[in-house]
C-alpha cells in the first residue's frame, strides 16, 4: 500500500494539484484582507477566522474537491493508463484507496492552509489599518476542532466526487455534480433536509 501511495504522490507532484491547493485558500485570504481594510470598526479575531472557515466550508471546499478529484482522475484517463494499472500485480482496491487517501490528505492540508493564510492576511491588513485591528484572543483549540469536523463531514461528498471522476473518462459529469451540489447547498441552506445533503454537511459543522 505504501508503494502505491508513493506513486500517487509522485503523480500529484507533477500535476497542478499544488497550484490548486494554494490558490483556493489564497482567494479566501485575499477576501478577508480587503474586507478588513474596508471595515469601519474592530471585530474579534474569532469572527474573522469563523468567516474564513465558513466561506471555505460553504463554497470553496466543495468546488476544490470537484476540481481536485477531476484532476486526480484525469491523470489516468488522459493517457488511457487504466488498462496498464489494472494489469499490475496489485489489488485494484489499493489503487483506488491510494487516490482517495491523497485527495483527503490534500483537502485536510488545504483546510489548514486556509486558516494560516487567513491569519496572515488579517494580520497584514491590521498592520496597514490599525484602527480596525482584530480584538480579543483566538481559541485555536476550538478553531482546529471545528475545521477537523469540516474535513470529516466532507468525506462523503469527496467520495461521491472521486467515484464520479474515476468512473467517467470525461470530466463533465464530475464537474456537473460538483457545481450542482454546491448550487443546491447554497440555495437550500435553511432546509431541514440539508443535514442529509453531502455538499451541505461541511458548513453544518459550524452550527452551534
Q: Total domain count for the chain?
A: 1
Nearest residue to 188 via CA among 173, 201, 206, 171: 201
Place of cell 471546499: 61
What's the pTM value of the predicted model, to 2 decimals?
Answer: 0.87
Confidence of residue 60 (pLDDT cuts 50, 70, 90): very high
More confident residue, 86 or 36: 36
Angstrom distance (rounded) from CA 177 to CA 160: 9
- For the chain, the distance separating the N- and C-terminal CA atoms, rounded to the nearest angstrom, is 39
Residue 180 has pLDDT above 80, yes or no: yes
Confidence of residue 4 (pLDDT cuts 50, 70, 90): low
- Report pLDDT for 110: 95
Average pLDDT, the chain: 85
Q: What are phi and psi of 44, to 5 degrees?
A: -65, 150
Residue 135 forms beta bridges with which residues? 44
C-alpha cell, 88: 499490475
Q: What are phi and psi of 135, to 5 degrees?
A: -115, 165
C-alpha cell, 92: 485494484
Which of 95-116 are b and which e, b meaning 16 or more Cβ less than 10 Å from the residue's Cβ?
A: beebbbebbbebbbebbebbbe
**pLDDT tens string 92-109:** 778 788 888 989 999 999
Residue 66 has pLDDT above 80, yes or no: yes
- Report pLDDT for 94: 80
Strand, helix or coil for residue 22: helix
Domain residues for the domain of 195 are 2-204
CA distances from 51 to 31, 44, 122, 185, 200 (A): 10, 11, 11, 17, 16
**pLDDT tens string 113-163:** 999 999 999 999 999 999 888 988 888 899 999 999 999 999 999 999 999
Amino acid at each position: 500500500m505504501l508503494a502505491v501511495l508513493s506513486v500517487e504522490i509522485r503523480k500529484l507532484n507533477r500535476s497542478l494539484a499544488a497550484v490548486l491547493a494554494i490558490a483556493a485558500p489564497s482567494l479566501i485570504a485575499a477576501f478577508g484582507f480587503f474586507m478588513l481594510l474596508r471595515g469601519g470598526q474592530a471585530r474579534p479575531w474569532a469572527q474573522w477566522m469563523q468567516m474564513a472557515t465558513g466561506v471555505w466550508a460553504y463554497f470553496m471546499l466543495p468546488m476544490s474537491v470537484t476540481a481536485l478529484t477531476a484532476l486526480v482522475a484525469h491523470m489516468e484517463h488522459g493517457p488511457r493508463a487504466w488498462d496498464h494499472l489494472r494489469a499490475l500485480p496489485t489489488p485494484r482496491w489499493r489503487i483506488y484507496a491510494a487516490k482517495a487517501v491523497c485527495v483527503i490528505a490534500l483537502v485536510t492540508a488545504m483546510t489548514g492552509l486556509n486558516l494560516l493564510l487567513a491569519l496572515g492576511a488579517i494580520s497584514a491588513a491590521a498592520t496597514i489599518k490599525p484602527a480596525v485591528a482584530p480584538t480579543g484572543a483566538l481559541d485555536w483549540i476550538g478553531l482546529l476542532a471545528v475545521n477537523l469536523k469540516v474535513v470529516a463531514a466532507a468525506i462523503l461528498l469527496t467520495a461521491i466526487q472521486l467515484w464520479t471522476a474515476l468512473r467517467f473518462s470525461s470530466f463533465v459529469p464530475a464537474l456537473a455534480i460538483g457545481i450542482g451540489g454546491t448550487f443546491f447547498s447554497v440555495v437550500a441552506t435553511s432546509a431541514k433536509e440539508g443535514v442529509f445533503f453531502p455538499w451541505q454537511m461541511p458548513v453544518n459543522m459550524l452550527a452551534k
